[in-house]
Structure 1
Amino acid sequence: MVKLTIDGKLVEAPEGSTILEAAASVGINIPTLCYLKDLNEVGGCRVCVVEVEGAEQLVAACNNTVLEGMVVHTNSSKARSARKTNVQLLLSQHDSSCTSCVRSGNCTLQTVANDLGIYRLPYKKHVEHNSWDRSFPLIRDNEKCIRCLRCIQVCEKVQGLGVWDLTNRASHASVDVRGRKPITAVDCAACGQCITHCPVGALRERDDTDRVFDAIADPNKVVMFQVAPAVRTSWGEQLGLSHEEATVERLCAVLHEIGADYVFDTDFSADLTIMEEGSELLHRIAEHDAGGEDAPALPLMTSCCPGWVRYVKARYPQFVPQVSTSKSPQQMFGAMAKTHYAEVLGVDPKDVFCVSVMPCVAKKAEAALPTMVGDSGEPDVDVALTVREVVRMIRASHIDPVNLDDRELDRPLGFGTGAGVIFGTTGGVMEAALRSAYFLVTGKNPEPDAFKEVRGREGWRECTFDLNGRELRIAVCHGLANAGKLLDALDKDLTYYDFVEVMACPGGCVGGGGQPIHDGRELAGERARVLRSLDKGAQVRFSHENPDVLACYKDYLGEPLSEKAEHLLHTDHSAWYMP
């Protein structure tokens, strides 16, 4: 341990710790803008500068390590003055239209500027403008960029995409799409990780809330909402609600208050996905093991994450035939809502307006795919909203969720199992699929937690299970950089699997690019624990025991992989092009 003094406090910190970490360990908060632990520790913003006795110049706390006997002043007049000047310089090149910014009230630059008492600028304003395709799900406003480089580092190191790059240098430096190409030309996965790691409003999702408000106001539209599994862990975070208060039933009440005619649960269609994908897996394994010239290749790969599907299509097209043809739960729900449930209600599918509430930006791109259109010519899903957009709708509607009672989700598309709930976390799709695959092969349920080895935070996890005498090798992967490593290993025959789950975002949907932003805090693990707890306490924990799913097969679909199920619930990933 290293002993030092910070602001008059004696501190002991592990050798190799930064001044920033040592200060935080004793409750001293040093402001930062560009810092992301292990990803972006360049000290470029100079907001974390501190004074160290004996040093000629101020040093960045984020990338200078502690030394024995060091004496640090985090808020001396010299440090405070330099910090204020640095922030003023950043603001002189920043569009400060805070009242019209989606990050107003949740912007690190705004917070730091307020804390430093910056109310006017001594420098001339010079703001860079950029052109952007506003139809793309992800929007960049360069006039708000502070060149912290976080988006570059996250996209490169966590996602392995390299969409963003620094162009020019010094005062002319600018962050732009790699090679200054259009965003549609660089195979962006639209995962949204750059958005959630941006400290300001330079990156955001395309706002589709007006389309939803317009549909609600249209008396001829039947507006149906679906709520994704991971949303129930996060929607209340920026409304000051605890996990106990922010239940999916409370959100159901809120959405009805906004004007929804029906509120359903994507857990239902997650269970439907398991029935289709699980059956597809067993069918593929049987054909593969039988051999023959046309035997399908293994592994089968999950298809519920559109960021992952975009990635594999763009970077590893040779593996597209091994991606499950099952639509994602979002798209399966839309297909059922505009066919089976429209028939039940006696309404024209063209009058059904389907809105999904997702922890994801890529879901916007998925909903717009030309292959996700029903026989009526209408898209399965009309609008995909992020959690952040829904929070804005709640605020715009002047609704205080605390004043509403919980309301049960509508049936029959509103009942989900514990297996459906865990779709929102890494390993959840795999675990849910294995629970039902075991039943489909043996006719008996396994213990609900029999496949818990698939759980974990490792970027690439592999396990082997016995499936009625057949060894089943599986892998679970999250984060696209990890997915690239896995696919490289498969491509070089360095490893072998039967079934692979991939989620684009670290931690899965709980860490999705459409989730509420808490700068400097990663909440994927905490949200995942909530989902696991909900699964543990669920009335039903197997997708194949969902009574509403079973009724859908009995009354409408027939059986998994039937002709009607293939038509409505499956897709051809090779039939569309990026973006």
Structure 2
Amino acid sequence: MNMVNLKINNVPCQAPEGSTILEAAHEVGITIPTLCYLKEIKRVNGACRVCVVEVKGAKNLLPACVYPVSEGMEVFTNTKRVQNARKMNLELILSIHNQDCMSCVRNGDCELLRLCKQYGVDKSNAFEGVLPERQDDDSAPHLVKDSSKCIICRRCISTCAENQGVGVINVVERGFNTHIACAFEGKLADSTCIGCGQCITVCPTAALVERDDTEKVWAALDDPTRHVVVQTAPSVRAALGEEFGLPIGTNVQGKMVAALRRLGFDGVFDTDFAADMTIMEEAHEFLERVKNGGKLPLITSCSPGWVKYCETFHPDFIPNLSSCKSPQQMFGALSKTYYAEKMGLDPRNIYCVSVMPCTAKKFEIGRPDQSAAGDGIPDVDVAITTRELARMIHRSGLRFLDLPDEDFDPAMGQATGAGHIFGATGGVMEAALRTAVETLTGEKVEPVEFTQVRGTDAIKKAEYQVAGLTLRVCVVSGTANAGKVLEMVRRGEKQYDMIEVMACPGGCVNGGGQPIQPAPVRNFTDIRALRAKALYDQDEASVLRRSHENPLVQQVYAEFLGEPGSEKAHHILHTSYAPRPRLF
């Protein structure tokens, strides 16, 4: 790698050739502010101009996020001219921004507000502006768009189009009337939006937020006729602590359980138990297809954003989808069948709440064929995000960091290491391989790890020789990457027996409902890897690391379902899919 010599604020330093001023400054301990730039987004144009710096010899200030370093360059990041320019740009942005910061859900982690404080911007010295008339959109079950808080940074557009391959939003009109919208000013609910929420996580303000369903949960907890149970996905414990000031990747399972119990839930359970159930059904389904010439590759169905993407953009692959419900839905189904029967409860009186890293889960609970108990009783009543749970904990006055570590309730709270790693890209595949390989060979496989499918790479491939068979597997995250893999399979360029797909880049640990980190953190910290490590560490520390070893899973089959793939198991734990029209 060729290095170039330059000076930043009169301090000599080196930076890789081709890197930007922003990146070079970071390496010497200087954070240059940004609003439009994110490293993970390729379509960067330096539009916000908040990152401008002074370069000796240049007439104009230059955008640090896109301007490359060069030999002998002299950069100044904090001159009066630079500070005044940044402040004026922030004032211009603020002049057309809805400033109801007191009640804004992003108060405390709004990137615009943080920079305005940093540069001394307030209403008294900002430009007077007129708020443009823009269309809000609350039509979707997972997301609310408040255009009055949009700063036209275009992060959401790039993420939706590039990382997710969906592209349902874009810049509409010009000049003062410029805004972000669906084609023909259509509603998100009528578009091909897959509900992944990646646009929310990159939004620097509250122009895009998840639909807040916490009032439904509070109402259920206050209803004496309801038996309210809660399940938490594996990724939630790896990220919730960030909302309370803990380092990224801190596993707060024990305190999370304690908080949920103190919020008043009648049962505090682990979605990881349902992840183990998913593996039992999915591994059985996979082996049945391999042995009996079924449709291959089998493609996982745990991610509702991915499932909707497949139904919309690649409906010819619907027969490849596993018929297994997601762990969220499996848990809900069992809570209103197995758990209801065991506890002597009427399923109608059980209210199932799920805490998920994923905004698409809000859409999934309303999908057809998600009522194992029948009579229109939904498997899951409400899904909230990690961020929503944090708001509930804050509102309740619980001192999260002072809470003791407590265990999940045993009725549906026992999980293996295989269930824990579901939240990381490659985790579902590895969990499935642990069970499928041992089922095929009839022997315990050591070591238990399948490291080839680990890591945050967008696409991972591996082959395993098992009982005379060659198992070819692929792991992909981000639906744009999934589309690339499916195209290669469709053209016959690649052949796989099983494919794991997660809608969000890096997997559920990077889901649309996870704590939002600002650009300076996202640009220079591997958040996905840190959160995933928390899950792999929990797996490694587990006594039981294979889903089929879970004694609770064994008990459910022995007492209730019979065996994996049984008629009863299929009725309760499996679902169906259908093509969706591509409107806009």
Question: TM-score, with normalisation over the residues of structure 1?
Answer: 0.96
1:577 Cα deviation from its structure 2 partner: 7.9
Partner of 2:37: 35
Partner of 2:217: 212
Contact 2:312–2:579 (Cα < 8 Å) also in 1: no
Partner of 2:492: 493
Contact 2:250–2:531 (Cα < 8 Å) also in 1: no
User: Superposition pairs for residues 502-521 of structure 1, below 5 Å?
Assistant: 502-520=501-519, 521=522
Answer yes or no: is 1:58 the counterpart of 2:61.
yes
1:450 Cα deviation from its structure 2 partner: 4.7
Decide which moves more: 120-129 or 148-157.
Answer: 120-129
SS of the residue corresponding to residue 486 of structure 2 reads helix
User: Superposition pairs for residues 427-466 of structure 1, below 5 Å?
Assistant: 427-466=426-465
Partner of 2:14: 12
Unpaired runs of 5+ in structure 2?
none
User: Superposition pairs for residues 537-556 of structure 1, below 5 Å?
Assistant: 537-556=541-560
Q: Which amino acid aligns with 1:321?
A: P
1:242 Cα deviation from its structure 2 partner: 4.7
Superimposed CA distance per residue, residues 99-123 of structure 1 (whole angstroms, 9 cap, x where no aligned partner): 2211111011000001110122232
Of 79, 83, 98, the residue aligned with 1:80 is 83
Partner of 1:23: 25
Partner of 1:394: 393
Partner of 2:264: 259
Partner of 1:536: 540
1:400 Cα deviation from its structure 2 partner: 0.8
Q: 1:576 to 1:31 in 2, by over 3 A?
A: closer
Answer yes or no: is 1:280 the counterpart of 2:285.
yes
Q: Which amino acid aligns with 1:89?
A: L
Give distance in 2, aligned partners of 1:284 and 1:61: 53
Partner of 2:253: 248
Contact 1:462–1:474 (Cα < 8 Å) also in 2: yes
Answer yes or no: is 1:201 the counterpart of 2:206.
yes
Superimposed CA distance per residue, residues 125-166 of structure 1 (whole angstroms, 9 cap, x where no aligned partner): 324431313452111111111011111111111111111111
Partner of 1:291: none
Partner of 1:345: 343
Superimposed CA distance per residue, residues 334-355 of structure 1 (whole angstroms, 9 cap, x where no aligned partner): 0000111111111111110100
1:406 Cα deviation from its structure 2 partner: 1.2
Contact 1:88–1:123 (Cα < 8 Å) also in 2: no
Q: 1:407 to 1:576 in 2, by over 3 A?
A: farther
Give distance in 2, aligned partners of 1:400 and 1:28: 34
Answer yes or no: is 1:566 the counterpart of 2:570.
yes
SS of the residue corresponding to residue 139 of structure 1 reads strand
Superimposed CA distance per residue, residues 193-237 of structure 1 (whole angstroms, 9 cap, x where no aligned partner): 111111111111110000000000001111100010111100111
Give distance in 1, aligned partners of 2:10 and 2:295: 65
Give distance in 1, aligned partners of 2:248 and 2:26: 26
SS of the residue corresponding to residue 473 of structure 2 reads strand
Partner of 2:157: 152
Q: Which amino acid aligns with 1:197?
A: V
Q: Which amino acid aligns with 1:344?
A: K
Give distance in 1, aligned partners of 2:528 and 2:250: 19
Contact 1:448–1:541 (Cα < 8 Å) also in 2: no
Unpaired runs of 5+ in structure 1?
289-295
Partner of 1:469: 468
Superimposed CA distance per residue, residues 471-515 of structure 1 (whole angstroms, 9 cap, x where no aligned partner): 111111111111000111111121111111000111111111111
Q: 1:245 to 1:305 in 2, by over 3 A?
A: closer
Contact 1:435–1:445 (Cα < 8 Å) also in 2: no
Partner of 1:324: 322
Q: Which amino acid aligns with 2:47?
A: G
SS of the residue corresponding to residue 268 of structure 1 reads helix
Give distance in 2, aligned partners of 1:471 and 1:134: 47
SS of the residue corresponding to residue 196 of structure 2 reads coil
Partner of 1:49: 52
1:246 Cα deviation from its structure 2 partner: 4.6
1:244 Cα deviation from its structure 2 partner: 8.9
Q: Aligned Cα RMSD in Å?
A: 1.6
Give distance in 1, aligned partners of 2:449 and 2:251: 30
Superimposed CA distance per residue, residues 344-392 of structure 1 (whole angstroms, 9 cap, x where no aligned partner): 1111111101001100000010011132123142100001111000000
SS of the residue corresponding to residue 501 of structure 1 reads strand
SS of the residue corresponding to residue 298 of structure 1 reads coil
SS of the residue corresponding to residue 230 of structure 2 reads strand
Aligned pairs, number: 572
Q: 1:448 to 1:80 in 2, by over 3 A?
A: same
Give distance in 2, aligned partners of 1:125 and 1:74: 32
Partner of 1:95: 98
Q: Which amino acid aligns with 2:105?
A: V
Give distance in 1, aligned partners of 2:362 and 2:112: 28
Give distance in 2, aligned partners of 1:575 and 1:66: 49
Identity among equivalent positions (%) equals 48
Of 268, 272, 275, the residue aligned with 2:273 is 268
Q: Which amino acid aligns with 1:22?
A: A
SS of the residue corresponding to residue 56 of structure 1 reads coil
SS of the residue corresponding to residue 412 of structure 1 reads helix
Contact 1:132–1:140 (Cα < 8 Å) also in 2: yes
Runs of 4+ in 1 over 4 A off after TM superposition: 242-246, 575-579
Superimposed CA distance per residue, residues 215-269 of structure 1 (whole angstroms, 9 cap, x where no aligned partner): 0000111110001011110011111235797521211110011111110001100
SS of the residue corresponding to residue 88 of structure 2 reads helix
Give distance in 2, aligned partners of 1:337 and 1:577: 33
Q: Which amino acid aligns with 1:386?
A: T
Partner of 1:192: 197
Give distance in 2, aligned partners of 1:489 and 1:543: 31
Q: 1:51 to 1:243 in 2, by over 3 A?
A: closer
Q: Which amino acid aligns with 1:324?
A: S
Contact 1:162–1:178 (Cα < 8 Å) also in 2: no
Superimposed CA distance per residue, residues 423-473 of structure 1 (whole angstroms, 9 cap, x where no aligned partner): 110111111101101222222221243522111322111111122111111
Give distance in 2, aligned partners of 1:514 and 1:506: 13
Contact 1:47–1:87 (Cα < 8 Å) also in 2: yes
Superimposed CA distance per residue, residues 253-299 of structure 1 (whole angstroms, 9 cap, x where no aligned partner): 100111111100011000000000000000111111xxxxxxx3211
Partner of 2:365: 367
